[in-house]
Amino acid sequence: MLKGQKVVLREKRLEDANKDYAWRSDDELAHLDAAPTLRIPFTNFLASYSDELGHPSRRRRRFAIETLDGRHIGNCMYYNIDEGKRGAELGIMIGDRDYWDQGLGTNAVTTLLDHIFNTTKLERVYLNTLEWNVRAQRCFEKCGFVRCKRQRRYHNDFISMEIYRNSWQHRAPLKGYQTEKKKQGG
C-alpha cells in the first residue's frame, strides 16, 4: 500500500472488477483513455480479470486508487517495464466523476512516481496523453513531466511526456502532494 496526501494506492483485487468493468464500458471514459469501449459480457471480463490477477506480469504493476476513507475511485499503473532501458510507461484514470478536479489524480501520480523512483532501478517514466486533453497535460506537468514529442497512433494525436529520476529527485515538492513517507522525513 502506498499512501499519498489525498489517496492510497493499493494492489488490485477481484472485488475491483465491477467498477473496472463499468469504467471501461463507459464511452466518455474510454474516449479519454483513447481506448475502445468495452463491449464484452461481464462474465468474460471477470474470467480474464481473475486470470490476470492470478498471473501478474513482471512488466506491469497495477494499483487501485482509493480515497483516504477507502473508496475505490480509479486505477493507475506502470507498464511496458523495460529493465534494460530502465524505463516504463505510466497510465491513470479516475473513473469516479465525483472525484474529478480535486487534485486526486495529481496526488496519485506523484505517489506512484515516488514509489517508482525510490524502490526500482527505473530512470525514466513516460506517458502518452491525447493532444486535446489539456486537463490531463496540466496534471502531468504539475507532477514534473515535460513534453517531448507529438505522435499519431490509432487515429489519435498524442503528446508524449516524460520524467527522469534525476528531475524527480531535484524538483521542488508540490505543496500538499508529498507522500506519507516524505512527510515523515524518511
At the topology level, CATH places domain 2-12+61-183 in Aminopeptidase (3.40.630)
Question: Which residue has 521542488 as its cell numbers?
Answer: 172
> Facing residues of 150 across strands?
159
Q: Identify the pLDDT of residue 132.
A: 95
CA distances from 7 to 2, 98, 102, 137, 176 (A): 9, 14, 11, 20, 12
Q: Identify the pLDDT of residue 172.
A: 57
- Residue ranges, the chain, pLDDT below 70: 172-186
Q: Are 11 and 186 in contact (CB under 8 A)?
A: no
Task: Report pLDDT digits (tens) over 133-164.
Answer: 999 999 999 999 999 999 988 788 999 999 99
Tell me the HSE value of 170 on the side-chain side, using a 13 A CA sphere.
5
